[in-house]
Amino acid sequence: MEVIIMLATLTLFCQPAERLNEAKSTPNYPVKEYDAFVITEDSAESDRQIGKLGWATYGSYIALRRVLIEVPDGVHYGRCNFNGYRSTMPEYYGDYDAHDGNLCLVPVTVGKPASLREHGENLEAAFDSAIDSGIFFSVPNEDGGRHTERAHVYKVGEVMDKAHGDKWPKAKISVADIREAVGLTQQQLADATGIPVQTLQQIETGKITAYEAGENYREKIAEALNFYDYQSIF
């Protein structure tokens, strides 16, 4: 089993697609219609989702929420070979190439982007709605098509809001959450990493960070848990 942290993000500003260029190029143009949507960080597919609603993403996100999920079978995370090139950044990818131009890449989206305006400007309600609609992987098939798989959600972190000065790394998803999701005890994790159980207990309770606990402890824990986004959590 692979367990990853999925980032559901809220865009800073979305405007009607047909007015986007005017709004960006005319400083005095009064843009009265706006909204923000909870979408995943997979920008290309999320942009298409927003576009189908008649909007265009604009600016950076104002809030985010981390969601601990299980990656479906046949989906991997790392650098992959794409159209004859080696990706420079880690990507979600499958075992086959689809015929839609995305080849082996696996887009990740919410089932339905959630409008902040429709949820009464309530960030948490908007995030809850998007997460409840499902987080989906579009997985390439051997025949060149694709199928979608809904991710199992283990835990949802707190909403982190720039407007209220929240610090980005604060996820409220711990090493213990990830360890329990993959079915390991503290002793099993200690045996796999060579890190003393007492030190793991301190890391899991937040008394110290894995980075502070010892050299390469973050990397050792991440490898044992088959978890890749460790820098954003511990």
Distance between CA 96 and CA 208 in Å, rounded?
Answer: 42
User: Which tokens is 151 given?
Assistant: 């991710």
Check residue 231 and give its pLDDT. Answer: 63
**In this predicted structure, what is the pLDDT of residue 166?**
53
Cα 59 to Cα 179: distance, rounded to the nearest angstrom? 35
- The per-residue pLDDT for 74 is 87
**Which pLDDT tens digit goes with each residue over 11-46?**
766 766 665 555 454 455 444 567 888 888 766 888
By the 8 A CB rule, do 150 and 135 touch?
Answer: yes
- Low pLDDT (below 50) residues in the chain: 23, 25-26, 29-31, 169
Q: Which two tokens stand for residue 131?
A: 């997460």
pLDDT at 30: 46
Predicted pLDDT of residue 87:
76
b/e per residue 44-57 (b: at least 16 CB within 10 A): ebbeebbeeeebbb
The secondary structure of residue 46, as a DSSP letter, is H
Q: How many Å apart are CA 182 and CA 180, to the nearest integer?
A: 5
Q: Show Cβ contacts of residue 19 under 8 Å, excluding neighbours closer than 6 positions.
A: 31, 33
Instruction: Quote the pLDDT of residue 215.
Output: 79
Q: Are strands 91-93 and 114-115 parallel, antiparallel or unpaired?
A: unpaired
User: Would you report the helix, strand and coil content of the chain in percent, each value rounded to 5?
Assistant: 30, 30, 35
Is residue 109 within 8 Å of residue 38, measured between CB atoms?
A: no
Superfamily the domain 174-234 falls into: lambda repressor-like DNA-binding domains (1.10.260.40)
Supply the pLDDT for residue 7: 64
Q: Any idea where the domains of the chain sit in the sequence?
A: 2-173, 174-234
pLDDT of amino acid 5: 65
Residue 25 has what pLDDT? 46
